[in-house]
């Protein structure tokens, strides 16, 4: 109801309103002013990062169309219960599917749509692992049978590997698949409590089929985990099939639209052809045919594919968080030293800029590494299809370390971005809390990050030991051929400005990684009492330094990718000099920020002197200042749409306070003026005779 305000009240208020208005903030103007500071052509960089103008426009067109659909509407996003989230997630997945069919779109457009709506649901694993597993593990006949059904959503699948008792140690899985040659069937069974499958996404209430990872037994012999395809629910009434118990595992830290599930199998029979037989095989008589030795780890290929996509996506999520925080801290004003003056934009505080702008630089670094990672995986697939598995070990080492490094960086980066937004960052309407709780699982799934770092460290130490016996190394570990030389090397930077030289930064990254590799190998030798042993106690007692080595190597790789990518852009003349300069500032800022954080190792080894650290620090601070005017233009260049960010604070027009107020209206608590607590509790309590006087 309209509220009548009399003239006297208005007059009295007028003066105070004027006083407040004279120095209150104007977020839209602030953001416009930030954009005017750009030293480069934002459109050019936007198109470059997003694969061209046509793709940018296509994405905006898709957003426009889907935001008008029921499933694409995000207004209730932050207010749904778990059940609503789950059902909505399914509607989104089918909505995207139908949209793709109707418009005859391919998988890359599908990825764009998924990223625009960003509502993970019961079909994540169907798309992310079930179909990829069929592609990489099934033989041609199996693919012909299953892929069309999966691709038309006649069946919905998931990837059931992890059990209550084992996630990391895949060889320790306890679910069994025992071959019965008389009936040419496998009996799949959960023999122990700990063999219960636990975690698979979509398993709880959605999936009709699974890729089951189970230990293959034939003729009394255990051949370890293999992949099988099997149906778990009826296609008629969606009830579990006989001998199968399935359910949802309950609420999680985030990602609650997904029904991660549990599964128990009781002597369930599946046909021989259920075993995915692209590599290992079983004959009708029950003879096991192993995969050729070169691709013994072929059954792990799906995990490698997913790790590569995780690396690719890390930059995107960090860029989203940084976009929100940069726009908001540019319009948020807080504290003034003298009365009557405008308050300071919080991004102008050294502490805020010093945290946020290196994150912005890191988001760019991850963008380039994501591209390199996917290229490397695509190259592997090409050679694998020719039967050549020679680059598998490097791909495994590269993708494991980067998966761990990039997801650690992004998880921490989202949380740092949230903190930099102060109180409003804590509101889910900022988009940052949900981004964090749903992203942070990337540090765990698809291989716990420490475990992944250990895989990379193992490869590096083995490479070093090989190089010491004259073996030629290739790829990113090549520098280890010169490890002995690196041990004597000293940094030659003598002025602040010399730290801007990418070669000086790269040398520091490389030297640190090489020395840590030598240290790790030595510690492992000591723990092993001679020749290094890569398992058991000697290995376990060397974990800390091995992880440190893998972190240092991954940082070197990310920096090198940034440097090489920029070099490529320069030499091919792909961007104008001003744009390249802005990117070079980011490359320098990323490099020096990481080096500054890790100087302890380099002081300890003697590679750096205290004076060189001081120069490094001063140059890093100078780069923060150099990047500051381009902060908003650089996040604009990522090209996130308001629809995509769903954030009151990340709005591209800067109107953040209006955004908060508008989005809050959808809160179910606001459906009535008195709220749901009045009738349920408050009224009876507060109207109780003498209720106040009792206190
Ligand atoms: C429209 C479009 C939308 C798209 C939409 C996308 C949606 C995107 C949704 C994504 C969704 C993801 C969802 C995740 C869902 C889970 O989390 S699925 C479960 C994943 N589980 C894991 O990752 C388990 C982690 N554990 C492991 O990978 C392995 O067991 C470990 C830790 C690597 C150890 O394996 P191991 O057999 O014990 O091996 P180990 O003795 O350490 O090493 C033996 C040798 O094998 C090598 N090796 C080990 N692993 C490998 C490997 N993978 N390759 C090659 N060599 C290997 C080692 O390097 C070693 O070599 P050498 O040194 O001997 O030469
Ligand atoms: C949201 C979510 C979704 C998932 N979806 C799926 C899915 O769809 N399908 C599926 O099969 N699985 C899925 N998983 C399971 C996931 O892959 C595992 O949780 C993950 O691989 C880690 O294994 P774990 O839980 O057994 O951890 P653990 O191995 O028990 O790790 C516990 C701790 O021990 C350490 N550790 C373990 N082993 C070693 C070692 N050898 N050396 C040194 N340290 C070690 C780890 O670093 C960690 O700190 C999902 C998990 C999550 C959280």
Domain ranges of the chain: 155-291, 302-474+484-635
What is the distance in A from the centroid of ligand 2 to the CA of 371? 26
Average pLDDT over residues 656-675: 96
pLDDT tens digit sequence for 233-263? 999 999 999 999 999 999 999 999 999 999 9
Which residues are annotated as part of the binding site? Answer: 162, 201
Average pLDDT over residues 633-653: 98
Which tokens is 412 given?
């921490």
Average pLDDT over residues 157-162: 98
Amino acid 24: pLDDT: 75
- φ/ψ of 443, rounded to 5, equals -75, -15
Average pLDDT over residues 84-111: 94
All residues at 6 or more sequence positions from 323 whose CB lies less than 8 Å from its CB, including other chains: 635, 638, 640, 645, 650
Residue nearest to atom 46 of ligand 1 (CA): 297
**Model confidence band, residue 6 (pLDDT cutoffs 50, 70, 90):** very high
**Model confidence band, residue 265 (pLDDT cutoffs 50, 70, 90):** very high
What is the distance in A from the centroid of ligand 2 to the CA of 26? 48
Residue nearest to atom 47 of ligand 2 (CA): 450
Average pLDDT over residues 370-394: 88
Q: Is the CB of 444 under 6 A from ligand 2?
A: yes
Q: Which atom of ligand 2 is nearest to the CA of 446?
A: 17
Q: Is the CB of 443 under 6 A from ligand 2?
A: no
What is the distance in A from the centroid of ligand 1 to the CA of 91? 31
Q: Which atom of ligand 1 is nearest to the CA of 397?
A: 59
Give the span between the Cα atoms of 552 and 602, in whole angstroms: 11
Average pLDDT over residues 377-393: 85
Amino acid 122: pLDDT: 85
- Coil, strand or helix at 309: helix
Q: Is the pLDDT reported for residue 293 higher than 80?
A: no
What is the distance in A from the centroid of ligand 1 to the CA of 300? 5
Judged by its nearest atom, the ligand closest to the C-alpha of residue 452 is 1
Judged by its nearest atom, the ligand closest to the C-alpha of residue 391 is 1
Residue nearest to atom 18 of ligand 1 (CA): 446
Identify which of 350, 353, 451 has the alpha carbon closest to the alpha carbon of residue 408: 451
Q: Which residues line ligand 1 (CB under 6 A)?
A: 107, 110-111, 114, 124-125, 127-129, 159, 161-162, 167-168, 170-171, 297, 300, 303-304, 306, 392, 396, 445-447, 451, 455, 458-459, 462
Mean pLDDT of the chain: 95
**Model confidence band, residue 294 (pLDDT cutoffs 50, 70, 90):** low
Q: Is the pLDDT reported for residue 695 higher than 60?
A: no
Q: Is the CB of 543 under 6 A from ligand 2?
A: yes
Q: Which atom of ligand 1 is nearest to the CA of 448?
A: 25
List the strands of the sheet with 244-248, edge to edge: 197-198, 261-265, 244-248
Q: Which atom of ligand 2 is nearest to the CA of 203?
A: 8
**Model confidence band, residue 485 (pLDDT cutoffs 50, 70, 90):** very high
Give the span between the Cα atoms of 445 and 167, in whole angstroms: 9
pLDDT tens digit sequence for 100-127? 999 999 988 999 999 999 999 889 999 9
Residue nearest to atom 8 of ligand 2 (CA): 200
Residue nearest to atom 12 of ligand 2 (CA): 162
Give the span between the Cα atoms of 164 and 328, in whole angstroms: 42
* 269: DSSP letter: E
Judged by its nearest atom, the ligand closest to the C-alpha of residue 543 is 2
Residue nearest to atom 6 of ligand 2 (CA): 200
Q: What is the number of other CB atoms lying within 10 angstroms of the CB of residue 397?
A: 24
What is the distance in A from the centroid of ligand 1 to the CA of 302? 8
What is the distance in A from the centroid of ligand 1 to the CA of 371? 21
Give the span between the Cα atoms of 434 and 530, in whole angstroms: 50
DSSP string, 97-117: HHHHHHHT--HHHHHHHHHHH
Amino acid 295: pLDDT: 64
Q: Is the pLDDT reported for residue 334 higher than 60?
A: yes
Beta strands at 176-180 and 209-218: parallel, antiparallel or unpaired:
parallel
pLDDT tens digit sequence for 511-560? 999 999 999 999 999 999 999 999 999 999 999 999 999 999 999 999 99
Which residue numbers are catalytic?
446
Give the span between the Cα atoms of 449 and 536, in whole angstroms: 19
Contact between residue 584 and residue 562 where contact means Cβ atoms under 8 Å apart: no
pLDDT tens digit sequence for 536-545? 999 999 999 9
Which tokens is 17 given?
């309103």
Q: Is the CB of 168 under 6 A from ligand 2?
A: yes
Average pLDDT over residues 86-104: 95
Q: Is the pLDDT reported for residue 274 higher than 90?
A: yes
Class of domain 155-291: mainly beta
**Model confidence band, residue 475 (pLDDT cutoffs 50, 70, 90):** very high
Which tokens is 296 given?
């013994």
Q: Is the CB of 157 under 6 A from ligand 2?
A: no
Ligand 2 pocket test, pick from 445, 535, 546 with the greatest ligand atom count within 8 Å of Cβ, gives 445
CB-based burial of residue 468 (10 Å sphere; 0-12 exposed, 13-18 middle, 19+ buried)? middle
Which residues are annotated as part of the binding site for FAD? Answer: 162, 201
Q: Is the CB of 447 under 6 A from ligand 2?
A: yes
- Coil, strand or helix at 213: strand
Is the confidence metric ipTM above 0.85 for this complex?
yes
Q: Which atom of ligand 2 is nearest to the CA of 161?
A: 11
Ligand 1 pocket test, pick from 394, 447, 462, 540 with the greatest ligand atom count within 8 Å of Cβ, gives 447
Residue nearest to atom 23 of ligand 2 (CA): 167
What is the distance in A from the centroid of ligand 2 to the CA of 306? 15
- Greater pLDDT, 256 or 381: 256
What is the distance in A from the centroid of ligand 1 to the CA of 444? 12
Judged by its nearest atom, the ligand closest to the C-alpha of residue 252 is 2
Q: What percent of the chain has pLDDT over 70?
A: 98
Q: Which atom of ligand 2 is nearest to the CA of 162?
A: 11
Judged by its nearest atom, the ligand closest to the C-alpha of residue 169 is 1
pLDDT tens digit sequence for 19-43? 777 777 799 999 999 999 999 999 9
All residues at 6 or more sequence positions from 578 whose CB lies less than 8 Å from its CB, including other chains: 39, 40, 41
What is the distance in A from the centroid of ligand 1 to the CA of 162? 12
Which tokens is 663 given?
């989005």
Give the span between the Cα atoms of 628 and 617, in whole angstroms: 17
Amino acid 547: pLDDT: 98
Q: Is the CB of 437 under 6 A from ligand 2?
A: no
Q: Is the CB of 330 under 6 A from ligand 2?
A: no
Q: Is the CB of 162 under 6 A from ligand 2?
A: yes
Judged by its nearest atom, the ligand closest to the C-alpha of residue 116 is 1
Amino acid 339: pLDDT: 76
Q: What is the number of other CB atoms lying within 10 angstroms of the CB of residue 106?
A: 8
Contact between residue 244 and residue 263 where contact means Cβ atoms under 8 Å apart: yes
**Model confidence band, residue 338 (pLDDT cutoffs 50, 70, 90):** confident
CATH architecture of the domain covering 302-474+484-635:
Up-down Bundle (1.20)
What is the distance in A from the centroid of ligand 1 to the CA of 333? 47
């Amino acid at each position: 109801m309209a509220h009548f305000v009399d003239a006297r009240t208005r007059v009295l208020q007028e003066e105070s309103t004027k006083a407040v208005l004279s120095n209150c903030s104007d977020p839209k103007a602030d953001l416009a002013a930030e954009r005017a500071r750009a030293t480069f052509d934002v459109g050019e960089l936007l198109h470059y990062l997003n694969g061209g103008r046509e793709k940018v426009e296509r994405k905006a067109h898709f957003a426009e169309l889907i935001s008008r659909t029921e499933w694409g509407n995000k207004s209730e996003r932050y207010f749904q219960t778990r059940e609503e989230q789950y059902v909505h997630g399914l509607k989104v997945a089918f909505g995207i599917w139908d949209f793709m069919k109707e418009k005859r779109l391919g998988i890359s457009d599908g990825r764009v749509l998924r990223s625009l709506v960003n509502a993970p649901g019961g079909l994540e694993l169907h798309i992310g692992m079930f179909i990829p597993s069929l592609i990489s593990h099934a033989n041609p006949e199996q693919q012909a049978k299953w892929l069309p059904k999966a691709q038309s959503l006649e069946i919905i699948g998931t990837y059931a590997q992890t059990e209550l008792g084992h996630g990391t140690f895949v060889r320790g899985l306890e679910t069994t698949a025992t071959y019965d040659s008389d009936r040419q069937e496998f009996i799949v069974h959960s023999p122990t409590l700990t063999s219960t499958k636990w975690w698979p996404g979509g398993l709880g209430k959605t999936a009709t089929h699974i890729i089951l990872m189970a230990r293959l037994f034939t003729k009394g012999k255990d051949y370890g985990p293999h992949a099988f395809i099997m149906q778990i629910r009826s296609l008629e009434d969606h009830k579990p099939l006989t001998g199968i118990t399935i359910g949802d595992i309950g609420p999680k830290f985030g990602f609650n639209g997904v029904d991660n599930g549990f599964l128990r199998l009781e002597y369930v029979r599946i046909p021989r052809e259920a075993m995915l037989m692209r590599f290992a095989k079983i004959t009708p008589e029950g003879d096991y045919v192993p995969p050729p030795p070169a691709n013994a780890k072929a059954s792990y290929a799906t995990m490698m594919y997913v790790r590569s996509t995780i690396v690719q996506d890390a930059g995107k999520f960090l860029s989203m968080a940084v976009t929100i925080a940069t726009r908001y801290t540019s319009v948020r004003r807080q504290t003034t030293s003298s009365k009557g003056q405008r308050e300071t934009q919080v991004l102008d505080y050294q502490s805020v800029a010093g945290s946020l702008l290196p994150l912005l630089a890191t988001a760019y670094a991850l963008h380039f590494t994501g591209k390199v990672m996917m290229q490397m995986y695509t190259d592997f697939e090409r050679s694998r299809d020719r039967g050549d598995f020679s680059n598998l070990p490097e791909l495994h080492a590269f993708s494991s370390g980067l998966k761990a490094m990039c997801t650690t960086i992004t998880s921490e980066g989202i949380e740092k971005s949230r903190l930099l937004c102060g109180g409003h960052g804590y509101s889910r309407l900022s988009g940052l809390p949900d981004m964090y709780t749903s992203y942070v699982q990337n540090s765990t799934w698809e291989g716990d990050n420490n475990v992944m770092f250990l895989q990379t460290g193992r490869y590096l130490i083995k490479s070093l030991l090989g190089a010491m016996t004259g073996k030629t190394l290739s790829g990113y570990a090549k520098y280890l051929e010169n490890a002995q030389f690196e041990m004597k090397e000293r940094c030659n930077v003598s002025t602040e400005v010399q730290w801007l030289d990418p070669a000086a930064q790269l040398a520091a990254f490389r030297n640190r990684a090489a020395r840590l590799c030598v240290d790790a190998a030595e510690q492992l030798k000591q723990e092993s009492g001679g020749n290094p042993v890569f398992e058991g106690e000697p290995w376990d007692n060397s974990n800390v330094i091995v992880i440190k080595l893998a972190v240092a190597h991954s940082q070197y790789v990310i920096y090198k990718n940034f440097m090489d990518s920029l070099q490529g852009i320069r030499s091919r003349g792909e961007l104008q000099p001003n744009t390249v300069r802005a990117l070079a500032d980011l490359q320098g800022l990323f490099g020096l920020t990481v080096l500054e954080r890790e100087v302890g190792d380099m002081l300890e080894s003697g590679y750096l002197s205290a004076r060189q650290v001081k120069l490094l620090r001063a140059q890093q601070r100078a780069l923060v200042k150099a990047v500051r005017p381009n902060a908003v233009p650089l996040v604009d260049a990522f090209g996130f749409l308001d629809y995509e960010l769903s954030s009151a604070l990340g709005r591209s027009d800067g109107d953040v306070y209006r955004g908060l107020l508008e989005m809050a209206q959808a809160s179910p608590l606001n459906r009535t003026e008195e709220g749901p607590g009045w009738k349920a509790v408050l009224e009876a309590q507060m109207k109780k005779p003498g209720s106040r006087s009792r206190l």
